[in-house]
């Protein structure tokens, strides 16, 4: 990871692909809805890319977001009433080859707060952050990173709230402090619109732009 980050070596093997494949196998083990997590993964990636100037994160953080998107529903296998806490416990109890313990903690916390109120003072971190001082990874910095990834994952999840991929092919554009989500889907998107509106406050709090769903009616 260090050598790749500093561009000291060029690796032909796609290690990120291996990590994502391991996450998908883990999701499959816990009976996650395949089509839904695939759509959330895709949307989260697109949201990350279109808001890059607002979050300032890099490819490694994008990878952690994708892992969280793939695993965000795994807790339902254990308990539907304590889904987020179960998801957190599953991720923390499972070694994911290719990411560090701290990165696994970040993923677990992002998933934990996907469907519950974000608590800035409630982020669980077991790692000794002193070893990361040179990289500026303080408790506050890691908490802010988790908040950013959580805001993106929440919105991606809300965009497929019905699990019917209604917003597949939608267009994303940032304009006048709004993240415009434009869809040509001509069916009912009330559930998605209400979910996006209800979670818009946190996204706006983190990035300063508000997500708005616009449906273009076909003539």
pLDDT tens for 99-138 read 999 999 999 999 999 988 998 887 878 777 776 666 677 8
Confidence (pTM): 0.89
pLDDT digits (tens, 9 = 90+) for 34-86: 899 999 999 999 999 999 999 999 999 999 999 999 999 898 888 776 778 89
153 vs 1, higher pLDDT = 153
Which residues on neighbouring strands pair with residue 162, listed in sequence order? none
* CA angle in degrees (0–180, nearest 5) for 39-202-164: 20
What's the rounded Cα separation, in Å, for the pair 66 and 23? 9
C-beta separation of 16 from 24 below 8 A: no
pLDDT of residue 139: 86
> Average pLDDT, stretch 145-174?
94
C-beta separation of 36 from 144 below 8 A: no
pLDDT of residue 10: 67
Radius of gyration (Cα) for the chain, nearest Å? Answer: 17
Mean pLDDT over each residue of the chain, to the nearest integer: 89
In 57-119, alpha helices (H) = 59-71, 83-92, 101-112
> Average pLDDT, stretch 12-21?
83
Nearest of 152, 168, 151 to residue 160 by alpha carbon: 168
Residue with tokens 């990871």: 1
What's the rounded Cα separation, in Å, for the pair 5 and 1? 6
C-beta separation of 207 from 196 below 8 A: no
């Amino acid at each position: 990871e260090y050598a790749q980050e500093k561009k000291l070596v060029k690796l032909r093997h796609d290690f990120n692909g291996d990590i994502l494949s391991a996450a998908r196998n883990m999701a499959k083990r816990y009976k996650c809805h395949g089509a839904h997590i695939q759509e959330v993964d895709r949307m989260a990636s697109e949201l990350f890319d279109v808001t890059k100037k607002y979050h300032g994160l890099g490819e490694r953080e994008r990878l952690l977001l994708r892992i969280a998107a793939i695993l965000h529903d795994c807790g339902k296998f254990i308990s539907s009433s304590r889904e987020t806490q179960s998801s957190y416990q599953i991720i923390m109890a499972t070694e994911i080859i290719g990411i560090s313990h701290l990165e696994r903690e970040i993923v677990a916390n992002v998933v934990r707060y996907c469907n519950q109120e974000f608590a800035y003072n409630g982020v669980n971190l077991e790692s000794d952050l002193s070893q990361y001082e040179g990289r500026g990874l303080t408790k506050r910095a890691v908490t802010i990173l988790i908040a950013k990834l959580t805001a993106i994952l929440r919105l991606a999840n809300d965009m497929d709230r019905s699990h019917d991929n209604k917003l597949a092919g939608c267009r994303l554009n940032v304009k006048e402090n709004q993240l415009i989500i434009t869809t040509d889907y001509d069916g009912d998107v009330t559930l998605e619109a209400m979910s996006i509106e209800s979670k818009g406050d946190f996204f706006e709090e983190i990035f300063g732009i508000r997500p708005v769903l616009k449906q273009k009616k076909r003539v």
